[in-house]
Amino acid sequence: MAGLIEAVQRADTALTLLQATQALAAAAHPQAAACLVDVLGFNNPGAAVAAVDGLIAIGEPAVATILANIDGTNYGARAWAVRALAGIGDVRGLEVLEEALAHDIGPSVRRAAARGLGQLRLEALERSQRECVVGRCLQALVQGCGDDEWVVRYAVVVGLEFLAPQLQEQLERQQLLAALRGLEADSGQEASVVQLRAALALRRVGAAPEGRPHG
């Protein structure tokens, strides 16, 4: 592992950095997390993608390192970190994902956050904690329905569909269905794509507009 990390640190061209990061990411070892997080801040999108993949492969052991090193002054690094947290699905990333969906300037980052909010891993939480997290995810996604970018609204639909099985309260389920129905009637940019995806989500969660089943 030390040799793989050193190769990343010693890389002196974009290509060698990419190759070294890919090799380190493939190891999927917790000791690689800090180095992979460093790569997120380099001006090398290919290496950053590889680093995100590696962090997702490491999973929960990488979360604390990611959160401790989110760079508020480096937009690129922060954006890649959001993608990594969304892919890992650890509940410790909730606040970062909420903030990203609500306020990030990059549609691709907001899109990743929306998907991530629907796919947090909640199995280990106590019931009260799980209900609280699910409620926060739902509210963030409902707010995301009004995003100006269709790719984000599309991701919100996906997030809502993934979140639906976690809902225990009837009021929350009604909120989710109302949000999906609103997106099914989307009239914004690329509306037909969002409409079709929302209709599919409604069928999958067992509800159609105005309570009528889809055939």
Count CA within 13 A, CB hemisphere, residue 144: 38
Computed from CA positions of residues 160, 161, 163, 165, in that sequence, does the dihedral angle turn out positive or negative?
Answer: positive
pLDDT tens-place string over residues 125-161: 998 999 999 999 999 999 999 999 999 999 999 999 9
The pLDDT of residue 210: 42
- Label residue 148 exposed, middle or buried (CB < 10 Å: 0-12, 13-18, 19+): exposed
For residues 138 and 119, what is the distance between their CA atoms, to the nearest angstrom? 11
For residues 62 and 179, what is the distance between their CA atoms, to the nearest angstrom? 33
Question: In Å, how far are 46, 68, 101, 102, 147 from 105, measured between CA atoms?
Answer: 21, 22, 9, 9, 11
Query: Where is average pLDDT lowest: 14-18, 45-49, 116-120, 184-188?
Result: 184-188
pTM over 0.85: yes
For residues 192 and 186, what is the distance between their CA atoms, to the nearest angstrom? 8
What is the rounded average pLDDT of the residues 4-19? 93
pLDDT tens-place string over residues 69-116: 987 788 889 999 999 999 999 999 999 999 999 999 999 999 999 999
Determine the topology of domain 91-215 in CATH. Answer: 1.25.40
CA torsion, ordered 185, 168, 86, 33, to nearest 10 deg: 180
Helix (H, G, I), strand (E, B) or coil at 121: coil
Question: In Å, how far are 171, 182, 184, 201 from 178, measured between CA atoms?
Answer: 10, 6, 10, 12
CB of 114 closer than 8 Å to CB of 144: yes
Question: What's at 106, amino acid-wise?
Answer: G
* Number of neighbouring beta carbons within 10 Å of residue 12: 7
Token readout for 17 is 């950095």
